[in-house]
Amino acid sequence: MATSSTTTPQSTRLFLALWPDAAVREQLRAWRELWNWPRGASPVHTDKLHMTLHFLGNQPAESLPAPLDGLAVPFTPFRLQLGVAELWHNGIAVLSPQDTPQQLLDLHTALSGALPGVGLQPEQRPYRPHVTMARRAKGVAVPQNGPVIDWAVDHYTLVESKTGDGSGYTVLREYR
């Protein structure tokens, strides 16, 4: 087994997210099916649909216990109504809230304040709450009407994103 300078430290790719339950995930899937995806588009698999709060990037695996414990912030449950379909300039198709609840913005802000305490820095770009429905969707006809998804948000999650053979998302912790 290789050791010392030839070994690459193990890292894990992390993000904080609102993670829908099965009923909301099914409603998101139904919304995704309303789009007529162009050739080459990559719709997000149903089990990966979520709303990112903070992307944390690659982090050393050995530092994982600190983020797990240090990201519990005061949280007030809220209702989130999704129903605005958009295609962003970079070919990302999203479903956004009709109105952004103050409790969502408060949660985002509280997590921004907690990140430095576990050695992480929040992203500097403005927060745009959305669920990514597909990537590489340039040219898609954006559906104008679809059902409003009424999501009762009562928790947020710390999620690991695995690429390659271990492809997928693993919820590491739920925070209520």
- pLDDT for residue 165: 58
pLDDT tens for 86-125 read 999 999 999 999 999 999 999 999 999 999 999 899 999 9
Fold of 21-55+77-152: Cyclic Phosphodiesterase; Chain: A, (3.90.1140)
pTM equals 0.90
Secondary structure of the chain as H, E, C letters: CCCHHHCCCCEEEEEEEECCCHHHHHHHHHHHHHCECCCCCEECCHHHCCEEEEEEEEEEHHHCHHHHHHCCCCCCCEEEEEEEEEECCCCCEEEEECCCCHHHHHHHHHHHHHHHHHCCCCCCCCCCCCEEEEECCCCCECCCCCCCEEEEECCEEEEEEECHHHCEEEEEEEEC
- pLDDT for residue 11: 85
- pLDDT for residue 62: 85
Q: How does the average pLDDT of the chain come out, rounded?
A: 91
pLDDT tens for 117-168 read 998 999 999 999 999 999 999 999 999 888 999 999 999 999 999 876 557 8
